[in-house]
Chains A and B, each alone.
Chain A
Amino acid sequence: MSGIKNRSDEEVTIIRPSHSWRGINFRELWRYRELLYFLTWRDIKVLYKQTVLGAAWAVIQPLFTMLIFTLFFGKLAKIPSDGIPYPIFSFAALVPWTFFANGLAKSSQSLVNESNLIKKVYFPRLVIPLSAVLSSGVDFVLAFIVLLVMMFFYGIVPTLALLWLPAFLLLAITTSLGVGLWLTAMNVQFRDVRYTVPFLVQAWMFATPIAYPSSLLSEPWKTLYGINPMAGVVEGFRWSLLGINSAPGPIIYVSSAIALLLLISGAFYFRRMEKSFADVV
């Protein structure tokens, strides 16, 4: 250990009861960016430890769903797929969806899972759900590579619209984190959340145009569909990767607004509950 450095008054901490709604302390969050990195790194590192198939699981999950969808919805129910082969139509939606669903499931359990950390060490608690969502990114990358291979196989060449893809990915992260913040903070107090999440994810999947195209709806309903931010994400992915239809305009605006609303309200709720985490969890 080195000697004591002379520090300025910046280091002064005042601990007192907080009463009102608090915003996010971004400066503090930035100071703890390395912890965020290490927690994410740990989650990724241990994710597929002691599994036979290892990281292949990241691909198997969406791939099998795609096969089932293709068989039942594509072949049997003959659901339209906007003129592109059904497998790639559904897989292009399943990749961001799986990312969202995993991120949501992980982040909603994250605080309870890390209760030993919360009770013993101080750091901005926001780091925990944030790292849970980010660590789902590995699965996304792997599944995305498979998607690219499939596109090549089907001879689909992406257009310049591909440049928009990061924006839609950000939209998925925002939604996942927004809902995750709400759920994980609630989960600390109400363990009901644990049982609600799988059901919620399943219902949400069918409420999102994954197995079917949103073109089944006509305006203005199609725009209103954007209230489900994942509808916007899926539409965005299909447009930027597969180049179907024209750019999805209004639905994206609605989705983005809702996703932002979820994130901001989730962050405030999280910060409000934060002070009781260590006592209740």
Chain B
Amino acid sequence: MRDIVIKVEGLGKQYRIGGCEPRYKTLRDSLSDVFIAPFRRAAAILRGQACGAAELDETIWALKDISFEVNRGDVIGIIGRNGSGKSTLLKILSRITEPTEGYAWINGSVGSLLEVGTGFHSELTGRENIFLNGAILGMKKAEIERKFDEIVAFSEIEKFIDTPVKHYSSGMYMRLAFAVASHMDPEILVVDEVLAVGDAQFQKKCLGKMHDVSEKEGRTVLFVSHNMGAISSLCNKGIVLDKGKNIFSGDIHEAVRLYNYDPATACSTEWRGNEGDENVRLSHTWVKSLDPDNDFHTAVDIEVGMEIEVIKELDSLISGFTLFSEYGNELAYILYDDDQNPPATIIKPGKYRKSFLIPTNTLAQGTYKVEYDVGIHGRSKIIQEQGKLMFTVENVKGLGRRFPVPKVRGRTSLFRPAFFLKKEE
């Protein structure tokens, strides 16, 4: 039986933006605006700038025509690029801001967690902040008292519970804040990117709690994150927003795939051309996932290949590639097997295909660049700049995206830690 708890119909939110109207107005400004604005607009029209009304009123639709339904027990991942309207949608559903049009019908109490530690006061002690923050999150005093010990235990700061939080480390602060938030008891939980803060251990703990909330307790959850690993392991359905429009709602894996599809990088997993010198030509390079759907993710073998045409018979031909992180750090350099070093084989003219395999669970989530290297051992470099490729590996099977390799900046690394968040059967 379908039991709808949220029904959103034609929801839209318009914001005023723009240079001519500062967000913090002063009364004087808006009074003088009354007199000046009509002239400014008239002048703009005379200069021929005002082709569209949009230029005049300087508004944007942060959300437009959003419609979807949520069933009881669904865990919905809301995904989209920055500025696609995810947070605006959550703000409307948690009644922080009003929609400009459309409506949302919600059956059940809503608890929203758009930030952890909202309303924490640095002068108050941990104990006092638990009560204050709990009340702000909509918990009753009796309820907080009942859960107090549980909250303190979860936060692991028993010793400092009567210390003002201004003396806390940021980690302790976050733990306490999340401990309070995770003891909210609504029927529908709305969570925004709160897992993006704190260290890896804290993130793990938060994810674990989110699992409990969604799986064991069967609560309805709306969850915004850029962590596709967390999204695909937690959610069963996804909503993809793009520039304020709902471009997809349905199965979560389909949603993640859609989100990851980017024409600019999608094209660059293959290159065709004809480059080289009079002896050797490079005609085709590719990076291919050995997944039937050709998805690049952490749980699949990845093939890096090239096609070379040898025009004149030669010896000592070497060919391989260098793997770079998206920031240009050199991660690996592959040319030939150790036991055929140096490769003195005579190579007859003809077309050759060569491919390398990056095994499952080697690459962490991130974007990688491939640069090919073809040359004559000890004599010349033939291919260096041509046939470059780029691909993005997604983490779909659990945690392990931020595992730093020395001197490798950002969240990209060569190796994935062998850590999986397994669903309990």
Question: Which residues of chain A have a CB within 8 Å of any CB of chain B?
Answer: 1-5, 7, 9, 11-18, 34-35, 37-39, 41-42, 45-46, 49-50, 116-123, 189-192, 275, 278-280
Q: Are B119 and A116 in contact (CB under 8 A)?
A: yes
Contact of B135 among A15, A38, A279, A280 (CB under 8 A): A38
Contact B28 A120 (CB under 8 A): no
Contact A34 B140 (CB under 8 A): yes
Whether A11 contacts B23 in the complex (CB less than 8 A), given A45-B124, A123-B138, comes out as no
Bound-state CA distance A177–B189 (Å) is 34
Q: Give the Cβ gap from B224 to chain A, nearest Cβ, in Å.
A: 14
Q: Are B91 and A278 in contact (CB under 8 A)?
A: yes
Determine if B106 is an interface residue (Cβ-Cβ < 8 Å).
Answer: yes
Nearest A residue to B147, CB-CB:
A1
Alpha-carbon distance A11/B141, docked complex (angstroms): 20
Is B217 interfacial (CB 8 A cutoff)?
yes
A17 pairs with B98, CB closer than 8 A:
yes
Residues in chain B near residue A12, CB distance under 8 A:
105-107
The reply on B97 being an interface residue by CB < 8 A is yes
Are A7 and B109 interface neighbours, CB within 8 A?
yes
Whether A13 and B217, one on each chain, are in contact in the complex, defined by CB atoms closer than 8 angstroms, is no
The reply on B131 being an interface residue by CB < 8 A is: yes
A2 pairs with B185, CB closer than 8 A: yes
Interface residues of B (CB under 8 A from A): 15, 23-28, 30, 91-110, 112, 114-115, 118-119, 121, 123-124, 128, 131-132, 135-138, 140-141, 182-185, 187, 212-213, 217-219
Instruction: Please indicate the chain B residues that have their CB under 8 angstroms from the CB of A123 in the complex.
Output: 136, 138
Cβ–Cβ contact B119 & A15, under 8 A = no
B115 to chain A, nearest CB (A): 5
Number of A-B contacts (CB under 8 A): 125
A residues near B112, Cβ cutoff 8 Å: 121-122
Inside 8 A of B103's CB, which chain A residues have their CB? 14-16
Which residue of the partner chain, among B128, B136, B217, contacts A1 with CB atoms under 8 Å? B217
Tell me, in angstroms, the Cα distance from A35 to B143 when the chains sit together. 13
The complex places the Cα of A190 from the Cα of B22 at a distance, in Å, of: 11
B164: nearest chain-A partner, CB-CB: A49
Q: Given A1-B217, A13-B106, A15-B103, does the pair A45, B128 have CB atoms closer than 8 Å?
A: yes
**Which residue from chain A places its CB closest to the CB of B134 in the assembled complex?**
A38
How near does chain B come to A117, taking the closest CB pair, in angstroms? 5
A190 contacts which chain B residues (CB < 8 A)?
Answer: 25-27, 30
Across the A-B interface, give the 7 residue pairs with the lowest CB-CB distance, nearest first: A38-B135, A16-B103, A122-B95, A15-B104, A275-B98, A278-B97, A120-B118
B191 vs chain A, min Cβ distance (A) = 12
Pick the residue among A4, A49, A122 that contacts B218 (CB under 8 A): A4
Partner of B124 from the list A15, A42, A278 (CB cut-off 8 Å) is: A42
Selected contact of B96 from candidates A13, A14, A118, CB within 8 Å: A118
Question: Chain A residues with Cβ under 8 A from B100's Cβ?
Answer: 17
**CA separation between A15 and B99, bound complex, in Å?**
8
Contacts of A122 in B (CB 8 A): 94-96, 112
B-chain residues with CB within 8 Å of residue A35 when the two chains form the complex: 135-136, 138
Given A46-B121, A190-B25, A190-B30: A4 and B219 interface contact (C-beta under 8 Å): yes
Inter-chain CA distance A272–B91, complex, in Å, is 19
Q: Determine whether the beta carbon of A1 is less than 8 Å from that of B141.
A: no
- Given A1-B185, A50-B123, A191-B26, 18 other A-B residues pairs in contact with their CB atoms under 8 A: A3-B218, A7-B109, A11-B107, A11-B108, A12-B106, A15-B98, A17-B100, A34-B140, A35-B138, A37-B141, A42-B132, A46-B121, A120-B118, A121-B94, A121-B137, A190-B25, A190-B26, A190-B27
- In Å, the complex CA distance between A144 and B203 comes to 52
Distance from B247 Cβ to chain A, minimum over Cβ atoms (Å): 22
Indicate which residue in A2, A18, A117, A279 contacts B15 across the interface (CB closer than 8 Å).
A279
Give Cα A236 to B23, complex, Å: 44
Query: Pick the contact of B93 from A15, A34, A39 — CB < 8 Å?
Result: A15
Q: Which residue of B lies closest to A45 (CB)?
A: B124
Complex: how many Å from CA A54 to CA B210? Answer: 43
Residues in B with CB closer than 8 Å to A116 are 118-119
